[in-house]
Structure 1
């Protein structure tokens, strides 16, 4: 409830606010973690690093569908590697930068979305599951919010 986000249509303000909140929360909850904490998987749960990379990848994929484009080979490769910490494991700053850059691209797309096209039909995945531009934008924002919440919870578990 901070007022309008500049350059965002009134119909898409909730989407923009959700992405901005995600950006703030992930920076607050992940910036100071060590690589071991970032990639810890207590009980086999997804690591904080995975959730950060998944926010980036899923947001990118959902917004690709919103533009009515097919996923690229690079996007599919990213999907398969989201949980991989790398060798040596990626640090918090570089992993956060990937997630924040995806959020920034999402906000740019939201700003550039023609509200007259919000109800245009879109398909998701190989099965082309039916949705709309608005459905994809909203789902991308709420999906990112869900994973930001998982990061907050995992932080408490990892730090004990």
Structure 2
């Protein structure tokens, strides 16, 4: 089976403005990378913390949650009680621990919501100011969309690396 080029090399994403294409490509690539990293990992492997590092499960849960929170700020919204509750639970595997299918479904759904928001974002709104958090730290719509994509990529890379380590430790 021939492997596709990376998302950013596949051309425009339908419905996405050219200025926002890098964010869309980053999120599409992250979804593909997270899926490959997590598939086949048991719940125990997902939540393992090799050497005290954050678990694969945490990185996936946090990527989904932070994407949701950053997009709320981009819309000019305050965080909801549900978003704060999700933030508080991101590091916990749950009882029973969340499995790969559940984490991936949540992450994929959040990426789809993010892509829908990116498609719906008018170019003339990109420089509109937005406040972040209780202190209303300064940003704008473009900054938040960019940071949402790069932050997701950062945790994707950590999930991929940790998954390789966990698989390696299981094989020993």
Give TM class, smaller chain: over 0.9
> What does residue 32 of structure 2 align with?
24
- Alignment pair present for 1:50 and 2:58: yes
CA distances 1:73-114 after superposition (whole Å, capped 9, x unpaired):
000010000011111111101111111111110000000001
> What does residue 7 of structure 1 align with?
15
> What does residue 78 of structure 1 align with?
86
- Alignment pair present for 1:37 and 2:37: no
| Pairing partner for 1:124 from 132, 137, 151 | 132
| Superposition CA RMSD, Å | 0.6
Question: What is the Cα deviation at residue 12 of structure 1?
Answer: 0.4
- Alignment pair present for 1:66 and 2:74: yes
Report the TM-score, using the length of structure 2 for normalisation.
0.92
Could you list the structure 1 runs, at least 4 aligned residues long, displaced by more than 2 angstroms after superposition.
none
Question: What is the Cα deviation at residue 43 of structure 1?
Answer: 1.8
Report the TM-score, using the length of structure 1 for normalisation.
0.98
- Alignment pair present for 1:110 and 2:118: yes
Distance 1:114 1:154 in 2: 37
Distance 1:85 1:136 in 2: 28
Consecutive unaligned residues of structure 2, counting only runs of 5 or more, are 1-8
> 1:79-158 residue pairs with structure 2 within 5 A?
79-158=87-166
Consecutive unaligned residues of structure 1, counting only runs of 5 or more, are none
